[in-house]
Amino acid sequence: MRIVALLVGNEPSELEPKRLCLISAEATHMSGAGIMLMTDEASSGSLCASDQVSALINEVQFTLGEGPCIDAYDQQRPVMEPNLVAPVVTRWLAFTGAVIEAGAQSVFAFPVQIGAVKLGVIGLYRDRPGPMTDEQHADSIVFANIAARVILDLQANAPPGALTAELGLAFAVQSVIHQATGMVAVQLGSSLGTALLRLRAYAFSNDQPLVEVARDVVARQLRFHPERSASDTDS
């Protein structure tokens, strides 16, 4: 009830995803929060982010296909790294360097799902190292459950067979990447999995968001060749 009161405020209205991210960070005493919509095939983009660092954390995971939100979604359990600079177990090599540079020192991810239906992940970060308290952990689970209801409520307002604007935008991004992956697979004569890896490698090596690279491929401004490296293409 305490968390619901924070979300609703003095003027009850439909809860917007952006406000959910802002209050999630504030109530858990984190530096920021973001929600990623995801599918079993691939991450589908960012539903909301409380600040620029949270948006970057979402984007880096989307581009690289690695990070706490990816693992939390796949494993259907919270994933936490209280010290990115000096972790007990080294993981997410490319992700870690990028988000430390942006200002994150610890990251925490909680699945957003209802029963067996997986919808995405809510991720939180802090600009200093340290584990969550039991209360922060419990509150984060509550926010993940609320996020699941918000996503379902957003979709409930859509016409049959369509997505709402908020959800549609994230999945539109994924659609561009799927289209580009298919085109690169034809160019390379490879599987879709290999094509997606080449796209991600190119985006990472050229310090570009994955969706920008995908749009260049779809616009035929960028072409991949099987005999060349990930960073050697026609543009």
For 169-206, how does the pLDDT look when each residue is reduced to its tens digit (9 = 90+)?
Answer: 655 666 787 788 889 989 999 877 688 778 888 988 89
Pick from 83-87, 126-130, 147-151: least confident: 147-151
Are the folds of 2-156 and 165-218 the same? no
User: Looking at domain 165-218, which CATH architecture does it have?
Assistant: Orthogonal Bundle (1.10)
- Confidence bin at 8 (pLDDT 50/70/90): confident
Q: Average of pLDDT values for 132-160? A: 86
pLDDT value of residue 232: 52
- H/E stretch holding 56 reads helix 52-64
What's phi and psi for 117, nearest 5 deg?
Answer: -85, 110
Each residue of 155-164: pLDDT tens digit? 666 666 555 5
216: pLDDT strictly greater than 90: yes
- Confidence bin at 112 (pLDDT 50/70/90): very high
Q: Report the distance separating Cα 181 and Cα 197, nearest Å.
A: 9
Q: Report the distance separating Cα 68 and Cα 15, nearest Å.
A: 26
| Domain layout of the chain by residue ranges | 2-156, 165-218
Domain 2-156: top CATH class: alpha beta
pLDDT value of residue 11: 55
**In the chain, % of residues over pLDDT 70:** 83
